[in-house]
Amino acid sequence: MTDAQRTLSQFICHSAYRDLPGPLVEKAKRHLLDTLGAALAGANADLTQRCLRALQTCEAPGPSAIWGSAGGLSPRNAALVNGVASHALELDDAGGCDHSGAVVVPAMLAVLPLCDPMPNGQELIHAMVLGYDIARRVLEACGGYSPHNEAGWHSTGTCGVFGAAAACARLLKLDESQTVSALGLAASMSGGLWAFIHDGTDSKKLHAGRPAEGGVLAALLARQGVTGPGQVFEDVWGGFFKTLAGHSAQPQALTEDLGQVWKLARCSIKPYAACRGTHSGIDAIGDLLGQLNVGAEDVESIDINASAFLVGMCSGVDTRTLAAAQMSLPYALAVRCLRGHAGLDAYEEHERRSPRILDFMSRIQMHTNHELAALDEPFVTLHTRDGRQATRQVKTPLGGPLNPVSDAQLLEKFQSLAGRALPATQVGQLADLCLNLEQEQNLQPLLDLLRFT
C-alpha cells in the first residue's frame, strides 16, 4: 500500500465536519443546489430517458430515487442515470475533476438508503467536500487538467470516480482498510475518452454517470470485503499515473496541503448552458457589444484568438446535436449576440437549426495563438459594419470563484431548471432544505423532494 493511498484513506475516515471552514460549507450547499437543479432539468432529456429505459429492461425497481420521477433503481444504476441527467445539459459545475458535482452528488445520494443510520446534513456536506477534494487531487496528480485532457482522457470520467468512491466510503462508514480498497477498485473503473469531440455523440454525458456508478460500486464491494490494489498511485507497471499520466504525473499533489487547501473552493457554477471553455468568450462578447453600443445587426465579424487546446476543443461549427453545439464557441457567441443569452433555451433544436444563427456563425473565426497557454482565456475582437473594432479578454468569467454568481442568480437558475421536473412548491422546499442543509437531522425529506409525486 502506498503512503498516499493510506493517507487519503485515513483522511476520508477520520477528518471531521468541524474542520471545514464556514465559507466552504456555504459553498458546498450552493454547489449541491446547483447540481440538483441541473440534474432535474436533465432528467427528461432524451439521453437520460434512453439510459433509464436501457437499465429498466435489466433490473427491477430499487431503493434509490431517479430524480424528477416516481421510480427508483439500484444504487449503482440510480447513480448512473442521475449522473447522466446532471451533465446532460452542460449546466453542472466545473473546475473540479472537471465536473465534480455531476459525479459526486449522484453517487452520495444513491447510497443514502443503504446507510444505517441515515446520515444527517452535516455528514452529507462533509462527504461531498471530501469527494470534490479527492477527485481534484487525483487530477492535479495527473499533472492537471491540460496535460491529462490533451492526452485524450476526459478527466470527469477518469478522476471523478475516486471522488465518488471517497464520498460513498465516508457515508457508508467504511474503515481505513476498506477505504483503501474502495480507492483501489475505483482505479479499475476509471475511463473516458475525448473521442466524442469529433462527432458530437452522447458519450461525454456518460462520463459523469459512469464514474458515479463506479464510485458507488467500488464502495459497496469494499464494504463486503472485496479487495482493491493498494499501489494504484505508486510508480509501478499498471499503476494509475504510470498508465494514464506517464509523462505528466505529479503524485505529491495527492496529499499536498491535505485538509488545509480544499479543492471545492476552486470550483465554478455555470451561468451558461455550454462547455466552461466558452464562458469567457460569452462574457467578452457581451462586454464588447456594450462597449461599442451595437447590436447583432451591426456586427461585421468576430475573431477569436485562442490557445491550441481551446481551438481543438471548442471551434466546431456542427450544431446538429446538442452535445456538439454546447462545445462550440462560435455558436455560443452567435446566440449571445442574436438571442441576448446563452441559456438553455438558446440550445433548443430549432435554435441550433436557425438559418439566422448559422449565417451569423459564418462571420466568426477562431485562430490559434501559440503564445497562449492551454487554459488561458481567449481574446475576442468584434468588428462593426461602420469600421470600428475592440478586443476583450475576460480572465475571470462569471461563475468562477473570483467572480461568483450571486445568491439571487443561483436561486433563479435553480428554480428555472428544477421547475422543468417538479412542482413550484416542491422546488421551493428543496431549495430551502439545501440552503439550510447543516441543520437537517434526517435526509429522507431530501430524497423525497427529488421524486415527482
Residues 292-324 pLDDT 10s = 999 999 999 999 999 999 999 999 999 999 989
H or E segment at 306? strand 299-306
Please, which pLDDT band fits residue 263 given cuts at 50, 70 and 90? very high
The contacts of residue 182 (CB under 8 Å, 6+ apart) are: 165, 166, 168, 169, 174, 218, 219, 221, 222, 228
Query: Strand 379-384 to strand 299-306: parallel, antiparallel, or no bridges (unpaired)?
Result: antiparallel
What residues pair up with 382 in beta bridges, in sequence order?
302, 390
What mean pLDDT is predicted for residues 38-56?
A: 97
Q: Where are the domains of the chain?
A: 3-270+414-449, 276-392
**How many Cβ atoms sit within 10 Å of the Cβ of residue 125?**
22
Q: Give me the mean pLDDT over the 199-228 stretch.
A: 97
Q: pLDDT per residue over 66-93, tens digit each?
A: 999 999 999 999 999 999 999 999 999 9
CA dihedral 22, 16, 123, 420 (to 10 degrees): 40
pLDDT band at 228 (very low <50, low <70, confident <90, very high): very high
In 3D space, the residue among 218, 230, 138 whose CA is nearest the CA of residue 182 turns out to be: 218
- CA distances, 376 to each of 144, 217, 282 (Å): 14, 37, 15
pLDDT at 2: 61
- Tell me what the pLDDT averaged over the chain comes to: 97
> Quick one: 12 exposed, middle or buried, by C-beta within 10 A (0-12, 13-18, 19+)?
buried
Q: Shortest CA distance to 84 belongs to which of 28, 157, 31, 139?
A: 157
**pLDDT at residue 174, as a whole number:** 98
Report the CATH number of the 3-270+414-449 domain: 1.10.4100.10
Whether the pLDDT of residue 1 is over 80: the answer is no
CA dist., res. 98 & res. 402, Å (int) = 17
Give the number of other Cβ atoms within 10 Å of residue 54's Cβ: 12
* CATH no., domain 276-392: 3.30.1330.120
Q: Taking residues 238-256, report their average pLDDT.
A: 96
Average pLDDT over residues 100-115: 98
Handedness of CA 416, 441, 160, 130 (dihedral sign): positive
0.75 exceeded by pTM? yes
CB of 346 within 8 A of CB of 414?
no
